[in-house]
């Protein structure tokens, strides 16, 4: 789960974030007032390696973004916030809207957190060998990421659009071990990134927020520069391939994802590619493994209970997965040393195709439990 608290951020970045949070929560399509809005609050405990025990609550809302097209995928907005036993505060919101007979798509992810954090340095070796503890890898950090995307249909299932990204990191209470790390010292504890990019997607998924069949192939290039408000000049390339195969029964889906990201130029430590997150392997401490290039491949099987759809139990499901991750300081991932992962989880459908998940993952000398809305991919 992505973690943070908007209230914990001060200064100009904090004001911008709070404004965007409010804007996203209230900027619904014009058809929203006329459509069949569904709203459901949720709450649950969880545990993650980086947060400890967490109490989180929030809600999910779904609606038809174009009342004249009843077959349109339902738009959704999720919001979750909470606090942990380690003194962390979190906020996460995801908006997915489908408009104009699905010719227009708008998505936004808002992730903000304030928490005790551990910086292990750059590279797989540092991630495994640097010990936890305030003497070597301890700091407290507030960070945020906001990435609105506008997509327009080009032809058929092919979409293209523009991506904006606003992200940053403010560190404090930094240990001597963190301060002396060369990659950390090169950029310092306070970093602001502002980027603009382009994305191209082929998307044949039946329901993009929770597919049972179809595929997604996307490529996104994002550039960051001081003229845009970033601290440094760099750019990133991300490629994402997902495939979903329905295995005869309703909701019985075999799916896999192959994901690649690399950074070029003067990319700060906070913007390097991270492997082993709640959205890929789901088995490691988030932020423990980072480098310029990251690669993950995950195979997952999801199913819902094969009972009458009118019964309450029809909204209950499960998932099992296995995967590997690789990293490198060059554009080509190093597959000689990989991060393995496997796990399983519970799924509850709150609204139509809007699920909440509780995942338990196991990796090399690591495990994690995550509570979040929607599937990892």
- Classify the C-alpha dihedral 226-121-117-91 as positive or negative: positive
Please report, in tens digits, the pLDDT of each residue of the chain (377 residues total): 333 333 333 343 344 334 433 333 333 333 343 447 888 888 777 777 888 888 888 888 989 887 778 888 889 999 989 999 989 999 999 999 999 999 999 999 999 999 999 999 999 999 999 888 877 888 899 999 999 999 999 999 999 999 999 999 999 999 999 999 999 999 999 999 999 999 999 999 998 989 999 999 999 999 999 999 999 999 999 999 999 999 988 889 999 999 999 999 999 999 999 999 989 999 999 999 999 999 999 999 999 998 888 888 888 999 999 999 999 999 999 999 999 999 999 999 888 888 889 899 999 988 888 888 889 99
Pairing of strands 104-118, 89-99: antiparallel
| Res 17: pLDDT | 36
Nearest to 302 by CA among 245, 361, 367: 245
Q: What is the 3-state secondary structure (H, E, C) of the chain?
A: CCCCCHHHCCHHHHHHHHHHHHHHHHCCCHHHHHCCCEEEEEEEEEEECCCEEEEEEEEEEEECCCCCCCCCCCEEEEEEEEEECCCCEEEEEEEEEEECCCCEEEEEEEEEEEEEEECCCCCHHHHHHCCCCCCCCEEEEEEEEECCEEEEEEECCEEEEEEEEEEEEEEECCCHHHHCCHHHHHHCCEEEEEEEEEEEEEECCCCCCCCCCEEEEEEEEEEECHHHCCCCCEEEEEEEEEEEEECCCCCCEEEEEEEEEEEEECCCHHHCEECCCCCCCCCCCCCCCEECEEEEEEEEEEEECCCCCCCHHHHEEEEEEEEEEEEECCCCCEEEEEEEEEEEEEEEEEECCEEEEEEEEEECCEEEEEEEECCCC
* Predicted local distance difference test score (pLDDT) of residue 56: 84
- The pLDDT value recorded for residue 6 is 31
The reported pLDDT for the residue numbered 113 is: 94
| pLDDT value at residue 42 | 80
Report whether 280 contacts 309 (CB < 8 A): no
Question: Are 17 and 6 spatial neighbours (Cβ–Cβ below 8 Å)?
Answer: yes
What domains can be seen in the chain, in order of their start residue?
6-373 (2.40.160.50)
State in Å, rounded, how far the first CA of the chain is from the last one.
13
pTM of the model: 0.86
Instruction: Tell me which residue of 237, 217, 95, 98 sits closest to 158, measured CA to CA.
Output: 217
Which tokens go with 281? 């392997």
Predicted local confidence at residue 38, as pLDDT: 83
Long-range contacts of 221-224 (CB under 8 A, 24+ apart): 221/197, 222/163, 222/165, 222/195, 222/196, 222/197, 223/195, 223/196, 223/197, 224/165, 224/193, 224/194, 224/195, 224/271
pLDDT for 330 equals: 96
Measuring CA to CA, how many Å separate 238 from each of 104, 147, 169, 186, 282?
22, 14, 21, 24, 19
d(CA 157, CA 185): 45
Site of tokens 């404090």: 172
């Amino acid at each position: 789960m992505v973690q943070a608290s908007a209230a914990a951020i001060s200064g100009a970045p904090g004001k911008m974030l709070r404004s965007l949070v409010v804007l996203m929560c209230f900027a619904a399509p014009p058809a929203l007032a006329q459509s069949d809005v569904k709203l459901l609050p949720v709450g649950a405990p969880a545990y993650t390696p980086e947060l400890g025990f967490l109490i989180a609550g929030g809600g999910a809302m779904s609606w038809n973004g174009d009342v004249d097209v009843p077959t349109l995928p339902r738009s959704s907005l999720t919001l979750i916030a909470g606090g942990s036993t380690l003194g962390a505060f979190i906020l996460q919101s995801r908006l997915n809207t489908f408009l104009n007979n699905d010719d227009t798509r708008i998505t936004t992810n808002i992730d903000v957190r304030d928490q005790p954090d551990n910086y292990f340095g750059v590279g797989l070796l540092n991630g495994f060998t640097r010990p936890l503890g305030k003497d070597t890898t301890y700091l407290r950090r507030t960070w945020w990421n906001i990435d609105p995307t506008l997509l327009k249909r080009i032809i058929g299932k092919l979409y293209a659009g523009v991506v904006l990204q606003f992200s940053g990191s403010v560190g404090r209470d930094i240990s001597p071990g963190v301060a002396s790390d060369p990659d950390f010292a090169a950029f310092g504890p306070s970093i602001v990134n502002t980027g603009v990019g382009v994305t191209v997607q082929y998307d044949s998924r039946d329901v993009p927020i929770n597919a049972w069949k179809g595929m997604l192939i996307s490529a996104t290039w994002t550039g960051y520069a001081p003229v845009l408000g970033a601290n440094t000049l760099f750019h990133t390339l991300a490629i994402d391939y997902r495939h979903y195969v329905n295995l005869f029964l309703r909701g019985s889906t075999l799916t896999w994802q192959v994901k690649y990201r690399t950074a070029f130029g003067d990319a700060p430590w906070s913007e390097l590619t991270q492997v082993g997150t709640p959205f890929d392997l789901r088995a490691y401490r988030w932020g423990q493994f980072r480098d310029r290039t990251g690669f993950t491949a995950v195979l997952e099987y999801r199913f819902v209970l094969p009972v009458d759809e009118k019964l309450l139990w029809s909204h209950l499901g499960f998932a099992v997965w296995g995967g590997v991750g690789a990293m490198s300081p060059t554009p080509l991932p190093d597959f000689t040393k990989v991060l393995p992962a496997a796990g399983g989880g519970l799924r509850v459908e709150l609204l139509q195709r809007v699920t909440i998940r509780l995942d338990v993952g196991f990796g090399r000398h690591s495990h994690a439990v995550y509570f979040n809305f929607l599937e990892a991919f």
